[in-house]
Structure formats: C-alpha cells, structure tokens
Structure 1
Amino acid sequence: MTASFKKPPPSLIYSVVSFPLPHILFVVFNRPKVLNCLCSDAQYELEELFAWYDTEPSLRCAVVTGAGRAFCTGADLKEWDQSNERKERGERDPRPLIPPSGFGGLSRRHGKKPVIAAVNGLAFGGGMEIVANLDLILAAKSAKFALPEAKRGVVAMAGSLPRLTRTIGRPRAMQMALTGRAVTADEAEKWGFVNIVVDDATSVELDVIDRPVVKKALEYATEIVQNSPDSVIISRAGVMSAWEDASAENSSRLLHETWGQALDEGENLREGVMAFVQKREPHWVNSKL
C-alpha cells in the first residue's frame, strides 16, 4: 500500500505504523517498558506523521493505541529533569520539549482528518491530554484516565484543561486537575468524554490489533471511511469550530463561507446525489480539499 502514497510516511522510531484496512492509518505508541511515556523525539516524529496523514489523499481516518498495558502515561520525566538541570546551568534546550501541535503531536492538533483513540490501559498526564483532543474515544474496561500533574508540581498545559472543561464541565474538570485522581472507563463514559467501553483483552500476549478496543475502533474508522471523505472533513471542521471558539451561528456561517463552494464543486457531492438517485452505492474519490 505504501507505493500508492503521494509521499511515503515518515520513518518512526518510537511508534509503529500500519495500514490494516483501506484508507485507515493505525498508530501504536511503542515504548511499553516505560508505559509509553513519550520523549521529545517521539513527540516530534508523531507531529510529522500526522501532518503527513492530513496531506495524504488516500488516508481518511486514523486510530491510535498503546503497546503493552498503557495507552500513554505522559512525558519522559527523566528527560524533563535533564532539561531542568540545563536551565539551572543557564543552558537552553535546542527546541521545546513539546511540539507546536501539542503533546504527542496531538493534544493541540487541529488537523483536517479524524483521529480515534483506542485506550487500552493507562491514559495519564500527556496521555490524557492527547485523549482530550481526539475525535472519538473508545476505552477498554480497565482503562483509567488521570491528570496527575499537580502531584509532581507541574501543570497540564498541553491543551487538556480548557478542552476538558468544554467536554465534561467545570466541576469534573476541576476534580481531575486539582486532585489528580484516576477516572475509570465507566466514569469517563458517564461523564461524556468516552464514546463506548468495551471488554478487556483476554491475554496480555494478544496482538495489539486483535484487542477488542482496537477492533471496535477500526469498526468505527471503517464506518467513517465508507462516507464521503469531503463530507467527513467538512463535518469535522464544523464540530471543531463550535467546540474551539465560535458561537453556533458564527460556526455555521464560517463553515459555509469556508467550505460551501468547495463542497458544491467537488466530485463526491455529485457522486453521492447521483448514487442515491440511481439506487446504488457511491464510489467516492480521494478528497481534494
């Protein structure tokens, strides 16, 4: 499948990439011995990967999960400690520890295409910051979510606090930020920041892609990629606009002004309407948006 890409995907050291189904990118955070904490290099390579994903016409949805028993437990604190030591000596880091698109290249990513989280275990700190900004969240029963930064004298500043406040409300966001207490998958579903909870994997040795939470995430991704890729991109933009900064009416106006003409002139709108009239399945083309 790689040969059909406009450009090959970037090479990764700390994560594993595959393409298990047509139009779907599958990413596994792959530092299980340290519970998938992400060093700075891991985050910058993920930022590059998701920038590539947004520009690759054949890809329409992504799924992320973690190897081992954690989704992601945040930053590499040893690296952070070394950075603090350099600052005390008056030295500067060659670049910020976190890239512009946020922790793991995801916690502040706006992007163009959807990303689904298949949370297989612990989503703590930066892992929770990633989850707070993804489009659909699926969790295994044993998954746990936490912002324990206050317990370490730091603050969750990679984008999750305002986003969680919008998603689950001030009291619950305050509870997570101020106590650092872990929230179970069932609680997270009741609070509204997890779409669905599924069974745990039957064995820790089970291949990542065979875990129930990953299988369910790939089912959701398959539903998404069966729809018009233009419609998916623009519908996501409409939700993101309202969630990020605009009133309902402003979001509607901006969505129409920004995307209306491109949608009307695109091949997929014509194909979708024609397929309905002709009582057949549509044959989508890769989005040119």
Structure 2
Amino acid sequence: MSFPAGITSPPPTVPNTLITFPAPQILLVTLNRPKQLNAIPTTSHPLFDALWRWYDGQPTLRCAILTGTGRAFCAGADLKQWNARNEQALSGLPPPPSDSNNGDAGASKMGVQSGFAGLSNRGGKKPVIAAVNGLCLGGGMEVVLNCDVILAAEDARFGLPEVKRGVIALAGALPRLVRTVGKQRAAEMALLGRHYTAAEMERWGVVNKD
C-alpha cells in the first residue's frame, strides 16, 4: 500500500478492515466482513483503538470516514463469538482472558476505554464521519452516536436490539442518545429494540443527512 505524503508511519492493521486514502488528507476505514454483516469481534476493539490513535497523531490527516461493505454498516458484536462464549460459560469453563466479555456490554470490558471499535467512547481530537449503509445495530449504533457527523443512505436502518437478547447497550450510546433525542425517545429505542429508518433518525436529530 502506498501512503500520501506526510504520513509518518504505516497505519495499524485491523483484520477484515480496509484502510485507504481517497484524498491526501482523508482516511477511509471500511469494515469488510459482509457475510457477518460487519460484526466486530471483541479482539478487534484494541486494534481499532490503536488505529484511531494513529489517525490523531498523523499531522496531515484532517478527517476520517467509517463505512461498511455489503448490506450492513455494522451489526454490532459478533454473535457467533457471543454464543460460543455463553456455551463455554454454561459448561463451567472460564472464557479466554482476551475474550471474557460482551463486546456491546461496556467500554471498560473491551480492553480499551475508547469502547466498541475504539470509537463509542473515543475522545479523539480529529473528526470521524460515519457513512452508514444498511444495518447499523447494537455496537454499530453506539459507534455512530459518538461520530462527529452521520450521513446515511436511504436504506440505512438504526437500532439498539440488545434488549431482545437480555442485555443492554453499555458502550456509551445511552447518555448520548438521551441528550440528542430526549429521555422518552431514548427509552423507546432501548426498551423496544426496533429498527428506525434514516428519515426517522434525521427527524430526531441523530443523522445529519439521509
């Protein structure tokens, strides 16, 4: 891979993630697990954290864009990993140390304080734009709520379905959602777990433009 002038070091590698530079000052990060709806395994959160820290430290990069391939932006945590972990817990065996938590269940349990995909609780100094296509659920929704700008395709669908799995979104989304859409609408999203269109999210002030 060739890098734009001014890049001081290669970007950290994240599995199933494409890192490109559509313009010299722009970093494009594309989630690339289309068959898994771009679900993110727990082990990738520290790697994303390193990537966003690298971005903040590059003097020539001014903006980053996050998007996904296929029919989803990001469907949240990797459910196969989730189910395997639960089965292991039921068997009485402890989970591996690097995989002892639910990827959607709290930034402090992801190995990094920056949260899901290194973004849901990120406090970086440079802007990140979410370009949302298709499904944006669970951890994916938590990520976009901490992005600086959210652009959505007409087919984008947003939601926090954790309640349907008996868990709750604890990677940073709920306080931001309350501030953005109000307590009642935030409660509706968290308690019903349904999908919302890009147009609905634009009306509620979550999406900048659909």
SS in 1 for 2:178: helix
State the AA in 2 paired with 1:124. L
Q: Which runs of 5+ in 1 are unaligned?
A: 198-289
State the AA in 2 paired with 1:109. R
1:53 aligned to which of 32, 52, 55? 55
Q: CA RMSD of the aligned region, Å?
A: 1.5
Aligned to 1:44: 46
Aligned to 1:13: 15
Q: Is 1:2–1:8's contact at 8 Å kept on the other side of the alignment?
A: no
For residue 2 of structure 1, report the CA deviation from its aligned partner. Answer: 5.0
| Structure with higher RCO (Cα < 8 A, 6+ apart) | 2
For residue 84 of structure 1, report the CA deviation from its aligned partner. Answer: 2.8
Deviations 1:234-265 (A, max 9, x none): xxxxxxxxxxxxxxxxxxxxxxxxxxxxxxxx
For residue 104 of structure 1, report the CA deviation from its aligned partner. Answer: 1.0
For residue 12 of structure 1, report the CA deviation from its aligned partner. Answer: 2.6
Query: How high is the sequence identity, in percent, across the aligned residues?
Result: 54
Aligned to 2:37: 35
Q: Distance in 1 between matches of 2:5 and 2:117?
A: 27
1:122 aligned to which of 135, 139, 147? 135
Aligned to 2:204: 191
Aligned to 2:97: 94
Please list every run of at least 4 consecutive aligned residues from structure 1 whose deviation after the TM superposition is greater than 3 angstroms.
85-88
Using the size of structure 1 for normalisation, the TM-score is 0.65
For residue 71 of structure 1, report the CA deviation from its aligned partner. Answer: 0.3
State the AA in 1 paired with 2:115. G
Q: Distance in 2 between matches of 1:82 and 1:100?
A: 25
Considering fraction of residues, name the structure with more helix. 1
1:176 aligned to which of 189, 192, 203? 189
Q: Is 1:39–1:76's contact at 8 Å kept on the other side of the alignment?
A: yes
Aligned to 1:80: 82
Range with greater deviation from structure 2 (35-44 or 175-184) = 35-44
Considering fraction of residues, name the structure with more strand. 2
What is the aligned length?
Answer: 197
Q: Distance in 2 between matches of 1:181 and 1:64?
A: 24
Q: Is 1:25–1:63's contact at 8 Å kept on the other side of the alignment?
A: yes
Q: Which runs of 5+ in 2 are unaligned?
A: 104-109
Q: Is 1:128–1:146's contact at 8 Å kept on the other side of the alignment?
A: yes
Aligned to 2:155: 142
Using the size of structure 2 for normalisation, the TM-score is 0.89
Q: Is 1:14–1:42's contact at 8 Å kept on the other side of the alignment?
A: no
For residue 58 of structure 1, report the CA deviation from its aligned partner. Answer: 1.2
**Structure whose alpha-carbon radius of gyration is higher:** 1
State the AA in 2 paired with 1:33. K
